[in-house]
Structure 1
Amino acid sequence: MIWRDPTLLDEGCVRIASDAPLEANPQRSVAVHNRNNHSHIRFAMEQTKALNALEPFLALSKSATSPRAASDLIVQATSAPNTYVFAELLQTPNIQNLRTSEEYGPYLTLLEVFAWGTWADYKAQPNLPKLSAQQHQKLLLLSLLPLSHSHTTLTYKHLMASLELPTPRALEELITTAIYSGLITATLDPAHSLVSVTSISPLRDLAPGSLPALQNTLQSWSQRCDSALADLEAQAAKIKQEALDREKLRRKKERAFEAAMQASDEKNNGKRNLMGDDAMEIDDEGGSGRVTRGNKRGSAGFGLHLGRR
């Protein structure tokens, strides 16, 4: 099974998921999401293209039974356009047989450098075969991928030193070739001598012995995901509890308002009842007084009438 280096995968989705301001601008969020989806699709196509470009050399490896033929095949494969992955070719028996050849063994090491190494790795081994112009260009392009992964913004000075490029113009041409080859997505800033890399194609093979480091990387990533999930769950629980507290407070205020209104109504009703009773007493007293006065007037009138008769 061939492993591709997952550390070179585009990390734009992780940055979007943790970029809170995107939520305030859904249109921008969708645009970034679509742009990253486009990058993933494009990189998948480039990887398929690279694998297809290697197929003819895999077929030829079956007949490359001599060390000379196998070494020539390595030169052809590493010089051909669009070949950026080499692990499958490395695993073929006739290529592996070069490991026991003192004369042609360095070609196997050279193929390993193209599979997962860099320009610095090549320079560190002076016994390796001399590179053609095409091989030199390709190894520089492949070396850009791990360099771009280490920093999202790279200086001209750092890249020129790492790749031993003589001029900024040579670096800009290399970056432009890498962009058009689908290896990276980047922006050149000649005014400030900077290269801003936004995504990287996963076109490097996984070096032997790197599985423990990969496992640690994946475990660290998993822990970050668990931590982010725990934070999200805690925030969701907090928001839910705050909503419940607000609802309880609303109901409490509503009950207090209803109780106040009921008490006010009862008080007003009590006042009206009291005023009604007082009015009835006044009416009763006024009626009795009129009757009493009427009787007095009636008696006096009756007496006077009798006296005159």
Structure 2
Amino acid sequence: MIFIMEQMKALNALAPFLALTKSATSPRAAADLITRATSAPGTYVFAELREAPQVQALSQSAEHAPYLNLLDIFSYGTYDSYKSTANLPSLNDQQAIKLRQLSLLTLARDPNNLSYASLQKSLDLPDTRALEDLVISAVYADLITAQLDPYNQTVHISSVSPLRDLAPNSIPNMLSSLQTWSNRCTSTLSDLEAQIAGIKADAARRHREVEARTVVQDKLISEEKEREKSGGVHGRDPGG
């Protein structure tokens, strides 16, 4: 429920820019709309904006096509992919912060990416203070739940908001990953069931052994009592 609310909040923030696409009849206007949408507070998903015909038309403009590429990076790329892609528009301060924040959502998938050194390199940040400020800003924006660990120079991220768009052709890979995960769960469940069955069988065996020993002990006690009783009767002095 929380995830749905976060997505709805992000979609609502994008809504004014979707409405403006109808009047963005020139490539320059559409490119400017992308800059405004990616700079605005609260806009974190951009798939619907990218699907607008006026935005799609930027692919036919040699001058403004880089803005469409930039929108793709904001949708599912990272700051590192921005830095490694040539001829993209420059980022303003708001865009730079947001793209770094969104990159955290992607980098959080791999705990090995979350050391201070790795994050500073991936996000092109000058020092640990800048990194910590960025993580704190992402927490306050409800993008992640995280704790800073300066002693171990690590960021511990415990949850991530589902506010990244899917990259093209990512669904087959996602389905494959889910199938692998499902198979692993099934195998683990089978192993657990086998272990439980073994524990139950071992417990039943021990219970039978205890019952058998109890029967033997009861029989021995009964026989001993019979011998004592028989010995007492036969050993009494008749003349006494």
User: Does TM, scored on the shorter chain, surpass 0.5?
Assistant: yes
Residues paired across the two proteins, number: 240
2:214 aligned with 1:214: no
Per the alignment, residue 29 of structure 1 pairs with none
Residue 198 of structure 2 aligns with which residue?
238
Letter in 1 for 2:175: Q
- Structure that is richer in helix per residue: 1
Residue of structure 2 aligned with 1:141, choices 97, 101, 107: 101
Distance 1:153 1:275 in 2: 91
Return the offset for 1:130.
Answer: 1.6
SS in 1 for 2:218: helix
Which runs of at least 4 in structure 1 moved beyond 6 Å after TM superposition?
none
Task: Indicate the larger mover: 45-54 or 81-90.
Answer: 45-54
Q: Residue 114 of structure 1: CA displacement?
A: 0.3
Distance in 1 between residues matched to 2:199 and 2:21, nearest whole Å: 63
Q: Which residue of 2 aligns with 1:63?
A: 23
Aligned partner (choices 133, 138, 162) of residue 178 of structure 1: 138
Match status 1:225 vs 2:171: no
The 2-side partners of 1:191 and 1:269 are apart by 80
Residues 136 and 185 of structure 1: CA distance in aligned 2, closer, same or farther (over 3 Å):
same
**Corresponding position: 1:106 with 2:66:** yes
Which deviations, in whole Å up to 9, do the C-alpha atoms of 1:214-263 show, x marking residues without a partner?
Answer: 12211221122112211221222122112211221221122112211221
Residue of structure 2 equivalent to 1:205: 165
Describe the shift of the 1:162–1:95 C-alpha distance in structure 2 as closer, same or farther (beyond 3 A). same
User: How many angstroms does 1:169 deviate by?
Assistant: 1.9
**What secondary structure is seen at the aligned counterpart in 2 of 1:142?**
helix
The whole-number CA distance in structure 1 between the counterparts of 2:30 and 2:141 is: 27
**Matched residue, 2:227:** 267
User: Which among 203, 208, 216 is matched to residue 256 of structure 1?
Assistant: 216
Partner of 2:35: 75
The SS at the match of 1:185 is: strand
Deviations 1:73-93 (CA, angstroms, capped at 9, x unpaired): 211111111111111221222
Of 73, 83, 95, 1:123 maps to: 83
> Per the alignment, in what secondary structure is the counterpart of residue 189 of structure 2?
helix
Any idea what SS the aligned residue of 1:108 has? Answer: helix
> In the TM superposition, what whole-angstrom CA distance separates every residue of 1:170-197 from its partner, at most 9, and x where no partner exists?
2121111011111122222334433222
SS, match of residue 252 in structure 1: helix
- Structure 2: runs of 5 or more not aligned: none
* Partner Cα distance (2:222, 2:5) in 1: 74
- For residues 269 and 191 of structure 1, do their structure 2 counterparts lie closer, same or farther at Cα, with a shift above 3 Å needed? closer
The TM-score normalised by the length of structure 2 is 0.90
**Correspondence for 1:159:** 119
| 8 Å Cα contact 2:113/2:119 also seen in 1 | no
C-alpha contact 1:42 1:182 (8 A) present in aligned 2: no
- Rg bigger for which structure? 1
Greater relative CO (CA pairs within 8 A, separation 6+): 1
Q: How far does residue 199 in structure 1 lie from its aligned partner after superposition? A: 2.1
8 Å CA contact retained: 1:43, 1:182: no
Residues 153 and 194 in structure 1, CA contact (< 8 A), matched pair in contact too: no
Contact 2:107 2:113 in 1 (8 A): no
Cα deviation, 1:34-75, whole Å, max 9, x if unaligned, reads: xxxxxxx65443333212211222222233333222222211
